[in-house]
Structure 1
């Protein structure tokens, strides 16, 4: 069994992009080195929207990652930097990461919105926009 995690973050202003990208590089390194990580990918969509997907041996290893290092450091900033943020986790038999379009459709259907300070119209309405690329 594996836990699959998908995130979607839309940066709300160009002024936040440099810090967001710097932290994203650090998180990508942390993810790939994290105990229990079985794969990870990042995708840049249109409109300063970024997606991640990762596979984890179990929920404990995923939670240990989320609450430590670079990931923990960025979390307090996301509510200010992003106009849209959502997350989705599910359990599946294999650690094979889903195709991006499949992850996007599943996020729209089952994703959980994360509170942001200045939500887009879609986020305020409780909608997760589809992937554009």
Structure 2
């Protein structure tokens, strides 16, 4: 069954935004070319919040991506760049990516935070803001 991986990161200061955006697109390009990747999408939301949505043939292929290349190199920097970080994974029957609203619901219901050095109040309380609707600012890479 395909594995869905969703991340939400909020950049804590405008000074980290340029490098964050560059590295996000580089990591998304890496995911797109990784064996086992079925889908890659990025979503920009207000207050410098960014979501990723990937679908994989297996957890092994997702972990292989996560622990290599650009993605592995940028993960330690996110500790300083972000004040909110959360993720959620689940399996589903379809190879199609879920809707962003479903991703947000699953994030709040079964997701978890990821460590950041300067957590916001929402990070500490694990509050995931509602998505701005209609959904705009999406970039589909695969």
Q: Secondary structure at the match of 2:52?
A: strand
Cα distance in 2, alignment partners of residues 35 and 4 from structure 1:
15
Report 1:15-94 matches (<5 A).
Answer: 15-94=15-94
TM-score, normalised by the number of residues in structure 1: 0.96
Deviation at 1:101, TM superposition (A): 1.0
Provide the aligned length of Structure 1 versus Structure 2: 133
- Gapped regions of structure 1 (runs ≥ 5): none
- Gapped regions of structure 2 (runs ≥ 5): 134-142
The corresponding residue for 1:2 is: 2
Cα distance in 2, alignment partners of residues 12 and 52 from structure 1:
17
Q: Quick check: 2:6–2:89 contact (8 Å CA) kept in 1?
A: yes
Q: Quick check: 2:7–2:53 contact (8 Å CA) kept in 1?
A: yes
Cα distance in 2, alignment partners of residues 105 and 30 from structure 1:
27
